[in-house]
Amino acid sequence: MIWDALGLQLGYNATLVTLGAAMLGMGAGATGTYLYLGKRALVSDAISHATLPGVVLGFIAMVVMGGEGRFLPGLMLGAALSAGLGLLAVTWLTARTRLHEDAAIGAVLSVFFGFGVVLLTVVQVMDTGRQAGLETFLLGATAGMLRNEALTIALGGAVILLLVRLLHRPMILVAFDPEYAVGQGMRLRAVDLAMMGLALGITVTGLKVVGLVLIVALLIIPPVAARFWSERAEIVVIIAGLIGGAAGYFGAALSATAPDLPTGPLIVLSAFVLFVLSLLLAPGRGVLAAALRHMRFQRRVHLRQGLLALASGQPVYEPLTLRLLRRAGFLRPDGVATDAGHAMAARARLDERRWQTLRSDPQFEAAAARYDGLTPLEEVLTADQIAALDRGLGLAGLR
Amino acid sequence: MLSLSPLLIGIAAAVACALPGNFLLLRRQALIGDAISHVVLPGIVAGFLLTGMVATLPMMLGAAAAALVSVALIETIRRLGRIEPGAAMGVVFTAMFAAGVLLLEQSAASGVHLDVQHALYGNLESLIWLDGYGWGALADPAALSTLPPELLRMGAVLLCVLLFIAVLWRPLALATFDEGFARSMGLNTGLLGLALVAMAALSAVAAFDAVGSIIVIAMFICPPASARLMTDRLGRQVAWSVLFATFSAVLGYSLAGYGPIWLGFANAVSAAGMIATVSGLILGLAALFGPCRHRRSGAMSG
């Protein structure tokens, strides 16, 4: 069943929903990267919670006008309007009062959401027959989704991806270095608005699939995960898009396999699994890579110190050092140095003596800064320079 | 009289959240209330699933465990991945909330009443005191024993929070406004901050159980934020925030219960949502007319 779902074998509608969720995830991951790099990620939390009153008011308006209350584009329009109002409120509170952005975010988030809940209870008594299903906007549901709805979501995701592609340069500049961006003639407010507009678009598009409580996860988790894989912003955007897309795909496919598996949480948990994998496995910034690096460094230090001890005829007791020396063939099992061990120890001592001379010579100041007790001098100086250094050593020896 | 106990629970919950909210707001940790109310969900559901009943103790224990797990997770992710705290918090609280919802939906199959709506909106309206007819019931031990247990619990938590803030008022104020100075005075500011968050978590979990997460988030932020726009002095700010929280709870509850009836509708609307809305309106008014609404260069004195 799971393989059928992942292989898109669960029928036309489920396939469409899965692809739509993947598209949405890609758009969300890419958009979220700019918010994350600009340290604005939590603003989207306010935006997403602020959609609730709009969704319910849109529903009420459509029912009052005698239409079908659950018409998705109408609900999305209402959501966009109230989310825009919420965004304005956050901006206004931050700019015009002494409150900080986090307080403004929390206030808007809770008040809009609370008001939305009030409206939801109004709808519950207003018309019991047709309202069933508005709650699915809280946590997302793909069960029983119409073909048009799935298409709308996929289209929304695609449009946002396209806009991200077009607006990449200004948004990345503003996220990284607003002052420089202004110097380049960019209008900060306009770019900021575009960034928030894209986040709003993702929220509104994702309402039906992920739900408004959790959509913010799709904007936050993929960029944070992608950040592990690269130091370059363009690449992070692409990887975040891929991670978001994968999360949308897996989450939607898994939720299609059973009736009581809610889509939104599954998509978010898929994203979280990808995040944990990135945290552990990414080269460079990942935990595993860091641990390996640490281990290699530790071994080099122990080996070097062991060789220096051998060179000066001191006994070695430290177990790790002993093990490393034996494994490298520098020490016999009974603790006596082999010929190779003597040779390496002599080399290590020579290297150390050269370094000491070098560090006391102001002429080699730049090279001396690279001393860490590990790097062989051959990696820092040319053969000629070392020869010159050795002459200094010889002279010192004569004196 | 029926409404007395939900009203009191609402006020206690609002004030218990608003009090630590003051300090969190000034320390720029305003969103901690939001995070806490998300992360405790899986713990509450797990407590429910393990014991198989909607009892308070296992759920509270589960919530506390979940809060601890989330703090550990955030720290681990922040350290291991060198990620800024805001983003680490965002990752953890959304993932844990998602896990909680998933657990909840799985448990829903067993047919017990515990759903997402309950967790979000709470059930303030249902906490009525059935035996409380007339003021005489207050002197009647039999009637008193049927008071909803949430009232006692919420009252106890409010008392804890009050004591905590009263006892640690000066250190808290010092550490909030000038952490460096507080440390030089020999205060353990790290421990103090942790204690504050723990206190916030305690009131959040208790209020969450009684009135749902919306009130928790709104009360942590809106009354203190409104109060911040009213005065420059910490003592007055805390007093204003208590006033605003109480007012929101009373007005919100009454509007939710009686507002629709005055307007000619038969049913009441969500009290939790209405309380949050009222607190938002207060914040809006404070932002428009509060005497200290603008940013000033002068520092705030304790």
Q: Is the pLDDT of residue A397 over 50?
A: no
Q: How many CB pairs under 8 A join A and B?
A: 198
Residue B286 lies in a domain: no
Q: Is the pLDDT of residue B14 over 90?
A: yes
Please answer yes or no on whether B276 and A115 come within 8 Å at the CB atom: yes
Question: Which residues from chain B sit within 8 angstroms of residue A124, using beta carbons?
Answer: 267
For residue B5, what pLDDT band results from cuts at 50, 70 and 90?
Answer: confident
**Nearest residue of B to residue A89, measured between CA atoms:** B284
Percent above pLDDT 70 for chain A: 93
Which pLDDT value is given to residue B116?
A: 61
Please answer yes or no on whether A98 and B296 come within 8 Å at the CB atom: yes
Q: Is the pLDDT of residue A13 over 60?
A: yes
Q: Which residue has the higher pLDDT, A146 or A345?
A: A345
Q: Which pLDDT tens digit goes with each residue over B140-194?
A: 666 666 677 778 888 899 999 999 999 999 888 988 888 888 888 888 888 888 8
Calculate how close chain B gets to A35, using CA atoms only, in Å: 10
Spatial neighbors of B285 by CB under 8 A, at least 6 apart, are B226
Least confident of A85-94, A253-262, A279-288: A253-262
Q: Which pLDDT tens digit goes with each residue over B64-92?
A: 888 888 888 888 888 887 888 888 888 99
Calculate how close chain A gets to B144, using CA atoms only, in Å: 31
Please state the ipTM of this predicted complex: 0.88
Please answer yes or no on whether A106 and B277 come within 8 Å at the CB atom: no
- Closest Cβ opposite residue A106 in set B34, B84, B94: B34
Q: Read off the pLDDT of each residue in A124-133 and give the average, rounded to a whole number.
A: 60
- Closest Cβ opposite residue B225 in set A39, A45, A107: A107
Which pLDDT value is given to residue A67?
A: 74
- Closest Cβ opposite residue B214 in set A114, A135, A268: A114
Interface test with B, best of A111, A216, A229, A281 (most B CBs within 10 A): A111
Q: Which pLDDT tens digit goes with each residue over A293-338?
A: 999 999 988 888 888 888 888 888 888 888 888 888 888 888 788 8
Interface test with A, best of B125, B267, B277 (most A CBs within 10 A): B277
Which pLDDT value is given to residue B195?
A: 87
Q: Read off the pLDDT of each residue in A216-244 and give the average, rounded to a whole number.
A: 92
Interface test with A, best of B101, B275, B293 (most A CBs within 10 A): B101
Q: Read off the pLDDT of each residue in B215-240 and give the average, rounded to a whole number.
A: 92
Question: Which residues from chain B sit within 8 angstroms of residue A214, using beta carbons?
Answer: 94, 97-98, 101
- Report which listed range, A115-124, A228-237, A270-279, A389-398, is most confident: A270-279
Please answer yes or no on whether A261 and B228 come within 8 Å at the CB atom: no
Please answer yes or no on whether A262 and B105 come within 8 Å at the CB atom: yes
Calculate how close chain B gets to A31, using CA atoms only, in Å: 15
Single-letter code of the amino acid located at A265: P
Range of the domain at B152: 4-211
For residue B299, what pLDDT band results from cuts at 50, 70 and 90?
Answer: very low
Percent above pLDDT 90 for chain B: 26
Residue B200 lies in a domain: yes
Residue B260 lies in a domain: no
**Nearest residue of A to residue B284, measured between CA atoms:** A93
Q: Read off the pLDDT of each residue in A121-139 and give the average, rounded to a whole number.
A: 69
DSSP chain B: -TTHHHHHHHHHHHHHHHHHHHHHHHTT-TTHHHHHHHHHHHHHHHHHHHH-S--HHHHHHHHHHHHHHHHHHHHHHHHHHT--HHHHHHHHHHHHHHHHHHHHHHHHTTT-S--HHHHHH--GGG---TT--SGGGGG-HHHHTTS-HHHHHHHHHHHHHHHHHHHTHHHHHHHHH-HHHHHHTT--HHHHHHHHHHHHHHHHHHHHHHH-HHHHHHHHHHHHHHHHTT-SSHHHHHHHHHHHHHHHHHHHHHHHHHHHHHTT-SS---HHHHHHHHHHHHHHHHHHH-TT-S--SSPPP-
Q: Which residues pair with A337 in a beta bridge?
A: A331
Which stretches does DSSP call E strand in A251-351?
none
Calculate how close chain B gets to A353, using CA atoms only, in Å: 38
Please answer yes or no on whether B222 and A110 come within 8 Å at the CB atom: yes
Please answer yes or no on whether B101 and A117 come within 8 Å at the CB atom: no
For residue B132, what pLDDT band results from cuts at 50, 70 and 90?
Answer: low
**Nearest residue of A to residue B267, measured between CA atoms:** A125
Across chain B, mean pLDDT equals 81
Calculate how close chain A gets to B140, using CA atoms only, in Å: 36
Q: Is the pLDDT of residue A208 over 80?
A: yes
Q: What tokens were used for A82? A: 């109230």
Q: Which pLDDT tens digit goes with each residue over A164-201?
A: 999 988 888 888 888 888 888 888 888 888 889 999 99
Please answer yes or no on whether A103 and B83 come within 8 Å at the CB atom: no
Please answer yes or no on whether B102 and A266 come within 8 Å at the CB atom: yes
Domain borders along chain A are 2-281, 288-392
DSSP A377: G
Please answer yes or no on whether A96 and B293 come within 8 Å at the CB atom: yes
| Closest to B274 measured CA to CA, from B2, B10, B5 | B10
Please answer yes or no on whether A39 and B84 come within 8 Å at the CB atom: yes
Please answer yes or no on whether B81 and A45 come within 8 Å at the CB atom: no
Give the integer Cα–Cα distance in Å for B63 and B56: 10
Number of domains in chain B: 1
Q: Is the pLDDT of residue B298 over 50?
A: no
**Nearest residue of B to residue A222, measured between CA atoms:** B91
Q: Is the pLDDT of residue B302 over 50?
A: no
Q: Read off the pLDDT of each residue in B87-104 and give the average, rounded to a whole number.
A: 88
Calculate how close chain A gets to B27, using CA atoms only, in Å: 10
Calculate how close chain B gets to A221, using CA atoms only, in Å: 5
Residue B61 lies in a domain: yes
Percent above pLDDT 70 for chain B: 80
Question: Which residues from chain B sit within 8 angstroms of residue A260, using beta carbons?
Answer: 105-106, 108-109
The 3-state DSSP class for residue A184 equals coil
Single-letter code of the amino acid located at B82: R
Residue B290 lies in a domain: no
Which pLDDT value is given to residue A123?
A: 82
Residue B54 lies in a domain: yes
Question: Which residues from chain B sit within 8 angstroms of residue A93, using beta carbons?
Answer: 287
Residue B263 lies in a domain: no
The CATH code belonging to domain A2-281 is 1.10.3470.10
Q: What tokens were used for A372? A: 């860490």
Which pLDDT value is given to residue B265?
A: 67
Please answer yes or no on whether A110 and B108 come within 8 Å at the CB atom: no
- Closest Cβ opposite residue A272 in set B95, B116, B283: B95
**Nearest residue of B to residue A99, measured between CA atoms:** B225
- Closest Cβ opposite residue B90 in set A42, A110, A260: A42
Question: Which residues from chain A sit within 8 angstroms of residue B220, using beta carbons?
Answer: 106
Q: Is the pLDDT of residue A398 over 50?
A: no
Q: Confirm if A169 and A233 have CB atoms less than 8 A apart.
A: no
Going from the C-alpha of B121 to that of each of A312, A371, B9, B126, the distances in angstroms are: 75, 63, 14, 12
